[in-house]
Amino acid sequence: MINFEILGRVTAWRNGQAAELQPVQQLLLARLVAAGGEQVSRAELAAAVWDGEEPKSSLKRVVSEVRGQLRALLPEGAPDPLPASVDGYVLPVDERQADVLRFEARLREALQVDDREAVPLMRVALEEWGASAKGLYGGQPLAGLSSGWAEQTRSDLRAAHRDARFRCLQQEMFDHRYEQLAWECDQLATDLDALHDESFIELWMLAAYRAGLRTRALEIYVRSTESAAAQLRMPLRRSLHHLAELIRDEDPRLGGPADLSVLLAPADSDSPSAAAFSHPSNVRKTMTDSPINMTATGNARVGAQVAHIHGDARIGTEPESAAASDMPEASEASEGQDI
């Protein structure tokens, strides 16, 4: 049985022996592997490898080269590893043989069970990315390959990796494992995509704060917003600024180290202790706007922001009322208290 990998560099191997595939051969093989044993037409293969502009007779030649490489991995007399069909070619492969098919199968299983059961399946799925995976988005599937199909497939796989990893991180937050979560986020923020992922940044900031690392939480905010300004030429969403304000002012509504019972159920006895972390009082203030006021509007916004971190795919999304002013409403002005 030949094993196929496309979640990093595209390879085919059996019994420790790997095929020596050139980039154009890797592209063709990756397209066939992604089909999961289904026929891929000649037109689809040409589109994947050459963006539809196939040089004369090139498809037949590349198919022959890939077939030869695969045949060299098999014992003598084995069936054709890449048979032709009426309108294309079929690579006989199932999820036992291909990392991407196993990854997708585990994710499909995770969609069929409840949240608590889904997370272990997602962790198993993520293991298919192997040692080459790094960061929130998993690195570079189809590494080094360039075509329209390769770029789109790479983007789709990275997004799937991100969503699965993020769901696992949300479970850490739900379980009050703030130390572990803050550390994991540190390890996952390895590229600009992670630094500009607003939902991830919000989760990371709140985890650091609840672990007792207020300074670190504000540093994360500054790092991500400065990177977005420099690389994207645009700000990240405003809810990040609101969260940073609340962290700066140690708003009890965030359920920080001093009071985990606010808004959420208290952490259980197995929760990480914040005692191991320093909590300096001379934290540099990173925002210039006035703090959010403790009004009905402000409370609703904070409640929604924190609650989303514990369940929604997009955390910190501002409710419609967030468009209103942060200043106290007229009827509440006498009771408003800046935090």
Q: Could you tell me the pTM of the whole model? A: 0.77
For residue range 159-184, what is the model confidence (pLDDT) as tens digits? 999 999 999 999 999 999 999 999 99
Whether residues 198 and 307 fall in one domain: yes
In a domain, 154, yes or no: no
User: In the chain, how long is the greatest CA-to-CA distance?
Assistant: 88
For residue range 37-63, what is the model confidence (pLDDT) as tens digits? 999 999 999 999 999 787 877 999 999
Token digits of residue 235: 């700000």
In a domain, 99, yes or no: no
| Cβ–Cβ < 8 Å for 12, 18 | yes
In a domain, 288, yes or no: yes
CATH number at residue 41: 1.10.10.10
Q: How many domains does the chain have?
A: 2
In a domain, 118, yes or no: no
The larger pLDDT score, comparing residue 233 to residue 283, is at 233
C-alpha to C-alpha distance for 243 and 145, rounded to whole angstroms: 40
Whether residues 38 and 181 fall in one domain: no
In a domain, 282, yes or no: yes
Amino acid at 308: H
Q: How many CA atoms, within 13 angstroms, populate the side-chain half-sphere of residue 153?
A: 26
Whether residues 187 and 331 fall in one domain: yes
Whether residues 337 and 228 fall in one domain: yes
In a domain, 22, yes or no: yes
- pLDDT for 330: 31
Domain hosting residue 261, numbered range:
176-339
C-alpha to C-alpha distance for 97 and 5, rounded to whole angstroms: 8
Whether residues 85 and 195 fall in one domain: no
C-alpha to C-alpha distance for 175 and 192, rounded to whole angstroms: 28
Strand partners, 40: 89
Whether residues 51 and 180 fall in one domain: no
Whether residues 39 and 182 fall in one domain: no
For residue range 7-36, what is the model confidence (pLDDT) as tens digits? 999 999 999 999 999 999 999 999 999 999
In a domain, 116, yes or no: no
Residue 94 backbone class (left: φ over 0; alpha: ψ -120 to 50; beta: rest): beta
In a domain, 137, yes or no: no
Whether residues 61 and 187 fall in one domain: no
Work out the mean pLDDT of the chain and round it to a whole number.
80
Whether residues 217 and 330 fall in one domain: yes
Whether residues 184 and 312 fall in one domain: yes
